[in-house]
Amino acid sequence: MKLKNIINYLLVAFLTIGVGSCNNNDEDSKFDQTPTQRLQARQKELNDLLLSSEFGWKAVYFTDNTQLGGYTHLFKFKNGGLVDMASDFDSDTATSNSEYQIQLGSTVSLVFTTKNRIHLLSDSDNYPTDALEGKGYKGDFQFLYYGQENGEIIFKTNRAFIELHFVKATAQDWADLPKNIDMIANVIGAPTRPLFRLLETNDGTTIHQFDFNFSDITRFATANSVESGSSMSYNMGIAYTPTGIIVDPAVKVGNQKLTNFIYDDATGAFTATGTNNVTATIKYSDSPLMLTDDYKMLLAGNPNNVYAYIYNLTNTASTNSLLFKTTLNDLNASLPTGAQLTRIQPWFNNANGSNYIEYRFGNASGATIARYYHYFTVTEDAQKKVIILNPLQWKTSTLSTAPSITAPVFLKELDDQLMNPQGLYFIEQGGLPYPAYTFTGVNSNFRMTVYPFQ
């Protein structure tokens, strides 16, 4: 290569390197800082963000959307590491004061260092169901900072690594927080509403229906298809809002994801609306969505069948109706201290052809202290697909020689629901973590969940 060409080549290469160096000056400057300095800069960035919103921040925190709902928290951060906080965890929506820190570790995190409303979700001794004993509500009080996007602060929880967004709160958010609590009764459903509920989706051309059940204890709902041959279901955590609910995961209808359901007081329905006539609605039905022949296995001539409401198992089932739960609570309140009804156990087609409901009572230590048996015969209403339990005598033993007794007064309200002369629907119930059936009054809001022993 000639000397002139070599010189020209080196000149071009030098200029190229020079231009590249100029373009990368900003990027390189970031690496002029030590890792500690970069973390400290992020620390200041987060603290400035937290202080920047006039009315603080709002977060709807779903701690585990496979079994728990969401809890709205409001935060107003102040200089000196102070924070005002309120939540809809329970009826106490008042503002409480505590402290926070922006801590440095492998990353920058927001930590609520003194006890406040957020800690109700992380207390392992505070749990909604026996299955969550030792886990509480699976919440956290330390949140790892992942930056900001569209005016929102992005965190991930320290324990479960769940993404959580802080959005700017308004004065109205603080004023309306008690309305979240007011919405709970609408989601549970008033006793004056029909017992049966469904989730109905419409993709603009086709409507699908799902049996809908909600547990207010866990703020969690299950919805299983009632269509023959379909196993499709929606399981969702629910968070309350002043105007309805938010669900997580979203209800997917077609290619749209619906999360925000608005409440209509006239009908009791909650409706989420997408585009192109796509909707999802939680609403009431006067009868079961799908009548089955399940009841036929209880008729005479079939093998022995035994079912039971069991306090330690089916007591928290979302399929238990409010009327059943209040009736049970009233009964237990009438008993001597420490005693409670532990089982309601219908027996069908015993060896001697008898049928009876066993009411079993226990004490505080779990020992059985009494049993009462109400005998009955069974007839059917084939048109309505229901069974009718026709009451016979009461006993305290299943021995054929045991004498009849006067009907216990304290069992009358509960027993009258099961001996409903209009009949009971008996339907296999999905969506629970164990096999289950429900006995449901034809003309009442009574529904009891039972475990099958077959």
Does residue 130 or residue 269 have the better pLDDT?
Answer: 269
Q: Is 211 exposed, middle or buried (0-12, 13-18, 19+ CB in 10 A)?
A: buried
Q: Is 430 exposed, middle or buried (0-12, 13-18, 19+ CB in 10 A)?
A: middle
Whether the Cβ atoms of residue 269 and residue 262 lie closer than 8 Å to each other? no
Say what the pLDDT of residue 11 is: 44
| pLDDT one-digit tens code per residue, 208-232 | 999 998 999 999 999 999 888 888 9
Say what the pLDDT of residue 3 is: 44
The beta-strand segments (E) located in 135-266 are 142-149, 152-157, 163-168, 196-202, 207-215, 220-225, 233-240, 244-253, 256-264
CA 218 distance to own-chain centroid: 4
| pLDDT one-digit tens code per residue, 84-108 | 999 999 999 999 999 999 999 889 9
Say what the pLDDT of residue 44 is: 95
Cα distances from 310 to residues 33, 183, 359, in angstroms, run 64, 30, 11
Distance CA 361, CA 335 (A): 10
Say what the pLDDT of residue 31 is: 57
Say what the pLDDT of residue 30 is: 53
291: Cβ contacts below 8 Å, ≥ 6 apart: 384, 385, 425
What is the chain's mean pLDDT, rounded? 91
| pLDDT one-digit tens code per residue, 354-372 | 999 999 999 988 899 999 9
Distance CA 156, CA 160 (A): 8
| pLDDT one-digit tens code per residue, 21-53 | 444 444 454 557 788 888 899 999 999 999 999
Say what the pLDDT of residue 21 is: 42
Say what the pLDDT of residue 82 is: 98
Residue (of 349, 360, 359, 343) closest to 308 by Cα position: 343
What are the counts of helices (DSSP H) followed by strands (DSSP E) for the chain? 6, 24
Please name the residue that has the structure tokens 């099961």: 418
3-class SS of residue 102: strand
Strand partners, 284: 197
Sorting pLDDT into bands at 50, 70 and 90, what band is 443?
A: confident
Average pLDDT over residues 361-389: 95
| pLDDT one-digit tens code per residue, 262-306 | 999 999 999 999 999 999 999 999 888 888 899 999 999 999 999
Report phi then psi at 369, rounded to 5: -115, -15
For the cut 90, the answer to whether the pLDDT of residue 375 exceeds it is: yes
Average pLDDT over residues 5-32: 47
Least confident of 114-123, 132-141, 324-333, 361-370: 361-370
Distance CA 366, CA 186 (A): 35
275: Cβ contacts below 8 Å, ≥ 6 apart: 256
Say what the pLDDT of residue 429 is: 87
Average pLDDT over residues 341-351: 97
3-class SS of residue 441: strand
Distance CA 23, CA 258 (A): 45
| pLDDT one-digit tens code per residue, 393-439 | 999 999 999 999 999 999 999 999 999 999 999 999 877 889 999 99
Say what the pLDDT of residue 231 is: 87
The b-or-e profile of 177-190 (16+ CB within 10 A means b, else e) is: beebbebbebbebe
Tell whether pTM > 0.95. no
Residue 98, Cβ neighbours under 10 Å: how many? 17
